[in-house]
Every structure is written in structure tokens, then in C-alpha cells.
Amino acid sequence: MENINLTPEESFNIINKAIANFKLNYRETAKVFLLWGWVLAIASFSNFIILKILYSREALGLMGLLSLCNWALFLLIGFIIMFFMERKSNKDKKVFSYLESYFKNLWTVTAASFIIATFICIKLEINPPPIMLLIAGIATTTSGLLIKYRPVIVGGMAFFIFSLAATFVSNEYISLIVFAAIICGYLIPGYSLKSAKA
Amino acid sequence: MYNDLDPLLHSQLRLAIVSMLIHSEKVEFTHIKEETKAAAGNISIQIKNLQEAGYIKVEKTFKNNYPKTFVSITDKGVKAFESYVNDLKKYINPKK
């Protein structure tokens, strides 16, 4: 690239090319959506099976504890995979974008909100999923608005609808609502992002 | 003809570098080289010019015993880029 006299149009082309190349990095986000999409989808479905079995055996006293252990196990698996994914991606990283930084801060605050909300729900004896789905909806919709990507915005809004729906169903079926919410809110937007041409 | 445009940014390579930095906290030197396909020596000279004007910052680090050079844009650089883009718009659409 030589330093030659530029016309304004050529200058705009250089700027547009830099912006177009930057947009390709949006697809990196898909990996995180797909990781948590699959981890949480399996967690919610296994939670449904656990609750169904406990209901059929009338072991209602164990439901809370086993459900909590199931979620904790899958969250731990998710965080371990996420840790190694981040380490691998940072190893040869050449561009540290503002967008990635916003995402990291947004989802760190969201993770903290999930933990605090869990304690609040246990203390107040409220079923956590409606609150959790609401928090997930806020973070996902905000993420979609940040990258201006409609499927992620719609996925985030789906969380709001499922959050309301979760208040109308009985205990074990809430897990199925969460399962559906994860598919609509994380997996579908995740695969859409993965195949996006930016 | 284009005297009002910032001469420091009105250069193919320097503009490409600053356009790349505008969306990022920092970018590694090798990435700039890959994207612009310019010679390392030429990029170094342009980065030095931009650094002397206060438009960018250069940070040298080591990772696994290999030197890494990261470049980031300053507030002054962002303002200069914004005013350069506004001036460009006036040339393309003089009526606006």
C-alpha cells in the first residue's frame, strides 16, 4: 500500500473496507451463544427428567436439592469449557475490539446477577426460572442491539415471553419452558450468527 | 484541491491504520501488516508519524519470549478521524 494522492471516494473506500473487515469478528460471538445454548439446553432437559422421576416416586423433598445440583454441575461444565475457549482465543489474538470488551462486561454482570438472583429466589422461596429468563432476556436483547443483529434481538425478546409463560405452568414443566427458551434465545440465534456473512 | 483535509490522515496507509483502530481497544502490528499488505518498514514509519502527532499510542510487550507491538488510537486521534470523515462528506456532498 503506497502513499498516493487520494480522492474523497477512495478515502471512503479505505474506511469502509476497514469497517467491513471488522464486522467479520461478530461471528466469534456465535461460539459463546452455542456453548451456553447447548449446556443450558441439556441442563434444563435433564432437570425436567429428574423432576419427572422424583414426582413419580413422590420424593418431593429431594426436588430442590437435586435440581440445584443438576444446574450447578452443568454451569460448572460450561464455565470450564468457556475458560479453555477464552484461553485458546486470547493466545493468538491480534485485535481487541471495543465490542468484545462490552460483551465481556455485559455477560460478567449478567453472570453475577444470575448468582445473586438464585440466592434471592431461594431466600424468598420463589421458583427461579422466570427471574433467570428475564435476566437472560435483558442481556441477550442488549447483545443483539449492540451488534445490530435481528435474530439475537428476537431471541432476547423470546426470553421475555418465556419468562412470563414460566409463571403459568407447574414446577416440572418450567424446565421445558426453559429448554424452549434456550433453543429460541441462544441456539437459533447462535447458529444464525455462525452462518452469517457479516 | 483537498487542502482542508487533515494531511496526516489523507494518506492511503495512515488512513487504513486509523480506520482499523477506530473500532478496537488495541490491534497488533502483524494484523495491520496482514490487512494493509504494506511493507513492515513503511507501516513503522507511518505509525511513528501518527504517534508523534498524538493520534495513536504504541505498546510493546512480550508473550512467550516473542515481542508483540500493539497500537491503539487516542482521544485526539478519534477526534481527528471524526473531523476528517465530516470534511470528506462535505467534498462528496457539498450541498449538505
Confidence of residue B78 (pLDDT cuts 50, 70, 90): very high
* Predicted-assembly ipTM surpassing the 0.90 threshold: no
More confident residue, A63 or B83: B83
Q: Which candidate, A94, A1, A84, A91, places its Cα nearest to that of A35?
A: A84
Q: Which candidate, B87, B86, B81, places its Cα nearest to that of B53?
A: B81
**Percent of chain B scored above 90 by pLDDT?**
61
3 state DSSP class of A102: helix
Mean pLDDT of chain A: 88
3 state DSSP class of A160: helix
| pLDDT tens sequence across A178-190 | 999 999 999 999 9
- CA pair distance A26, A18, nearest whole angstrom: 14
Per domain, the residue ranges of chain A are 26-86+113-195
Q: Which residues in chain B touch residue A14, judged by CB atoms under 8 angstroms apart?
A: 12, 15-16, 19
Q: What are phi and psi of A184, to 5 degrees?
A: -75, -35
Which H or E run includes B26?
strand B24-28
- CA pair distance B42, B34, nearest whole angstrom: 13
Q: Write out B33-78 in H/E/C secondary structure.
A: HHHHCCCHHHHHHHHHHHHHCCCEEEEEEEECCEEEEEEEECHHHH
Which of A11, A22, A94 lies nearest to residue B88, judging by beta carbons?
A11
- The CATH class, in words, for B12-91 is mainly alpha
Per domain, the residue ranges of chain B are 12-91
Q: Does B50 touch chain A (CB under 8 A)?
A: no
Confidence of residue A61 (pLDDT cuts 50, 70, 90): confident
Q: Which residues in chain A touch residue B16, judged by CB atoms under 8 angstroms apart?
A: 1, 14, 17-18
pTM: 0.79
Q: Which residues in chain A touch residue B75, judged by CB atoms under 8 angstroms apart?
A: none
> Does the pLDDT of residue B96 top 70, yes or no?
no
